Amino acid sequence: MTEEEFTEFYRHSVRRLTGQLYVVTGDLHEAQDVVQEAFVRAWGHRRGLDRELAPEAWVRTVAGRLAISRWRRARTAARAWRRHGETPEVDGPDPASVDLARALRQLTERQRLCAALFYVCDLPVDRIAAETGLAPGTVKAHLSRARAALARQLDHPTELREHSDDLH
């Protein structure tokens, strides 16, 4: 089957196969996924599809088997979860963490990267410069700007300045 023939085959059968698998799975997204995966596999076997009497049946069979495999995996996973009991409830993030995450998103990508490497990974400026390909002075500038922006947004300037002495 040539690329053009396969494209035509796909065009004429994808909706029909998706509808058929939707009836089997009861889930449109699952049906779309398994049909697409089956077509991907058919693409790899398209030369052999020439010899098939019904390439659509081949794709339908593969899609059906994929759907059954996914169903079995989901069923096994559900059993495993039930065996381990209920999951413990986890408290959501505290308001300060939410504020910090929001403030970090306001930083530029480089400021956020430099701040994370310095404050979270506890790397010195020279190491940050080596890892990012920035000059040490540029890293210091990004850290300074990040601290200033975070201080303005979080209104806690003293907490952020504690580490500023480490820059020098």
pLDDT digits (tens, 9 = 90+) for 96-151: 888 888 888 888 888 988 988 898 888 899 999 998 899 999 999 999 999 998 88
CATH architecture of the domain with range 3-83: Orthogonal Bundle (1.10)
User: Which amino acid is located at 143 in the chain?
Assistant: L
Q: Cβ–Cβ contacts within 10 Å for residue 44, how many?
A: 8
Q: Which of 39, 35, 41, 50 is nearest to 5 (CA)?
A: 50
Longest dimension (CA), the chain: 76
What is the CA angle 91-97-98, rounded to 5?
Answer: 90
pTM equals 0.49
Query: Helix, strand, coil: what percent of the chain each, to 5?
Result: 80, 0, 20
If one looks up domain 95-167 in CATH, what number appears? 1.10.10.10
Domain ranges of the chain: 3-83, 95-167
